[in-house]
């Protein structure tokens, strides 16, 4: 019960109530074991905080740092991590085991688009009636799709029966951030290529310079 009440934040400055600490400098240098009063004095002289980073050690380890900056950077890292987790999307494509080539090509196009954007794809084969007795049809279809998009994906979850369906999950070989960066570069290149002909046309249509006044007089 006592440990559950302890704050998740490290103790800093006057909240560090131990006789001595193993002090680490602001650049990671080992200062050694010093009295906590001396460590607090060094922190004040350097306009930094004394932060307890390893309270379970004997003696506890404390570091000189800008605690406000440390908290801000930690919060930014946590936010970026959450952002990346949210961006991990699973798209779903449903197929019939006896799908015709045209529909297959259309569905495969969707899978390629999702994978190119860095998203996972859950591919579901739906069996109806007597089709349930031919699971190999669905398995072969999933294998074919995996082979067709092998340059963009790997099989994250192998085909498996799930009731009347068969499911496979494809993971993108390209991460979401990489896909977005590549898409941004592609759009910027397209804008640049459109701007270039316009600039050349403007230069071509520019009027020739008028002759100098003395030449006109002649």
pLDDT of residue 202: 55
Q: Give mean pLDDT in consecutive 10-residue pieces for the chain, a chain of 218 residues.
A: 54 93 93 94 94 92 93 86 69 94 96 93 93 91 96 94 93 78 80 68 55 47
Cis peptide before 9 (omega within 30 of 0): no
pLDDT of residue 5: 42
In angstroms, the CA 150 to CA 154 distance is 6
Rg of the chain's alpha carbons, rounded to an integer? 32
pLDDT of residue 85: 62
pLDDT of residue 187: 81
């Amino acid at each position: 019960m006592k440990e559950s009440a302890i704050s998740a934040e490290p103790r800093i400055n006057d909240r560090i109530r131990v006789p001595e600490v193993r002090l680490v400098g602001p650049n990671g240098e080992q200062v050694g074991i010093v009295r906590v009063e001396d460590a607090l004095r060094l922190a004040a002289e350097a306009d930094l905080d004394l932060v307890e980073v390893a309270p379970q050690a004997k003696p506890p380890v404390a570091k000189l740092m800008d605690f406000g900056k440390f908290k801000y950077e930690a919060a930014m890292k946590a936010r970026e991590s959450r952002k990346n987790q949210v961006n991990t999307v699973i798209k779903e494509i449903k197929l019939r085991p006896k799908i015709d080539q045209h529909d297959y090509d259309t569905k495969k196009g969707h899978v390629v688009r999702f994978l190119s954007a860095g998203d996972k794809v859950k591919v579901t084969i739906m069996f109806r009636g007597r089709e349930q007795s031919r699971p190999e049809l669905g398995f072969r279809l999933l294998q074919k799709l995996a082979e067709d998009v092998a340059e963009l994906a790997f099989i994250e979850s192998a085909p498996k029966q799930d009731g009347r369906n068969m499911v496979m999950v494809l993971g993108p070989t390209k991460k979401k951030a990489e896909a977005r960066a590549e898409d941004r570069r592609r759009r910027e290149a397209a804008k640049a290529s459109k701007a270039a002909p316009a600039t050349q046309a403007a230069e071509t249509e520019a009027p020739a310079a008028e002759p100098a006044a003395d030449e006109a007089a002649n």
